[in-house]
Amino acid sequence: MLIYLEKNLQENERAKHIISFYKNPIVLPIDNYKNIFDKNISWNTEKSVIIASLNNALTQVPENYGFPWEGFFFKNSLNCVYDCRYCYLKWALKNNNMQVFFVNYEDMQNQIKKTLEQFKKSQYPIWFYSSDYSDNLATDLISEFSDFFIPFFETLPNARMEIRTKSTNISHLLKHKNITHTEIAFSLSPQEIIKNYEQKTPLLDMRIEAINTLIKNNWKVGLRFLPLLEVKNYREIYTDFLKYISKKIDFSKINSIFLGGLMYTYEDYNKILQKEKTLDVLYKLEKNEDGFYRENREVRTWFYDIFSEYIGDKKLSICLDKKKN
């Protein structure tokens, strides 16, 4: 494994742990991760890792993104071990293969505390969404992200963290007891969608088993039906899916449920078309006046209605959209 290590991190214990995880690592010192990550490289970067630090890990989320209070994207690593064909990381980053781990956790901790000072009078918790640039749970044994940040968030009365994931790597979470400020939010799709569009990800039944294990151990668990895809026979596929999971998961024990259709900004849509020319669901999208390419309103309304039927409106939050009856 070829590992690029920023020079200022050569004595960093967290960096040393990551390096030790890989067999026969070749470590090359670099000045800044962008010198490698932002350049077009001719060799296979899937076999490379960057260990770096990041000055600003927080970005405010758009309105109606998730929970109805203030929130921030929490960037602590880049790229994902999975290969979902629709994923925005494929075009949002200049290098969509190379895994980047930012290890200056203490700096991130201070950034979070400083940000919370701005909202200390808020009566609602401030949410930090930690897996929008990678799947933190999938690489958790390497990064030790949860062992550092889950206990940290428990010390912050007005903060909450979401770890969104498709991973079933949960066994090490169970050593943490009485966790109330972190929600493990599982992305769920019909198994047919997983097979065709979410390569290298755990099967639906494996995710359901992980969900129920965490619930039994008193964890806060969320469900994320994002994105909903207008595939061939989608009405039949998603109806069968909802029938199935409603028998396997007790929705009353789920902390939050978000859903939303496939969507891209105008600029990003053109970028992904260049990389995924054969991705059928892209050609079902329409240009909307709100600045996004989306599935049409009829399709989105059907999705929202069928999920409401099986789960109930009170449990559902629609991400970056509104339900129209």
For range 108-114, the mean pLDDT: 98
Cβ-in-10-Å burial (0-12, 13-18, 19+) of 204 comes to buried
Ranges 6-10, 195-199, 307-311, 312-316: which has the least confidence: 312-316
Per-residue model confidence (pLDDT) at position 115 = 97
* Cα atoms in the 13 Å half-sphere on the side-chain side of 219: 27
For range 131-147, the mean pLDDT: 96
Q: What is the pLDDT of residues 231-283, one digit of tens each?
A: 999 999 999 999 999 999 999 999 999 999 999 999 889 888 888 899 999 99
Question: Do the Cβ atoms of 266 and 287 come closer than 8 Å?
Answer: yes
Position 45 pLDDT exceeds 70: no
d(CA 3, CA 305): 48
For range 80-92, the mean pLDDT: 88
Backbone angles phi, psi at 89, to 5 degrees: -65, -20
Cβ-in-10-Å burial (0-12, 13-18, 19+) of 121 comes to exposed
| Model pTM above 0.75 | yes
Position 111 pLDDT exceeds 90: yes
Tell me the pLDDT of the chain averaged across its residues: 94
d(CA 309, CA 100): 41
Backbone angles phi, psi at 238, to 5 degrees: -75, -30
d(CA 108, CA 112): 6
Position 43 pLDDT exceeds 70: no
Position 42 pLDDT exceeds 60: no
Q: What is the pLDDT of residues 168-200, one digit of tens each?
A: 999 999 999 999 999 999 999 999 999 999 988
More confident: 270 or 150: 150
Helix residue ranges, H only, 126-220: 140-143, 145-154, 191-197, 204-216
- Using DSSP's 3-state secondary structure scheme, residue 33 falls into coil
Q: How confident is the model at residue 321 (pLDDT cuts 50, 70, 90)?
A: very high
Instruction: Report which of 296, 309, 231 is spatially closest to residue 263, judged by C-alpha positions.
Output: 296
Per-residue model confidence (pLDDT) at position 95 = 83
CATH class as words, domain 54-261: alpha beta
Per-residue model confidence (pLDDT) at position 187 = 98
Question: Do the Cβ atoms of 103 and 145 come closer than 8 Å?
Answer: no
Position 113 pLDDT exceeds 90: yes
Q: How confident is the model at residue 149 (pLDDT cuts 50, 70, 90)?
A: very high
Question: Do the Cβ atoms of 148 and 103 come closer than 8 Å?
Answer: no
d(CA 78, CA 72): 16
Per-residue model confidence (pLDDT) at position 40 = 61
Per-residue model confidence (pLDDT) at position 41 = 61
Task: Round to the nearest angstrom and report the end-to-end CA distance of the chain.
Answer: 53
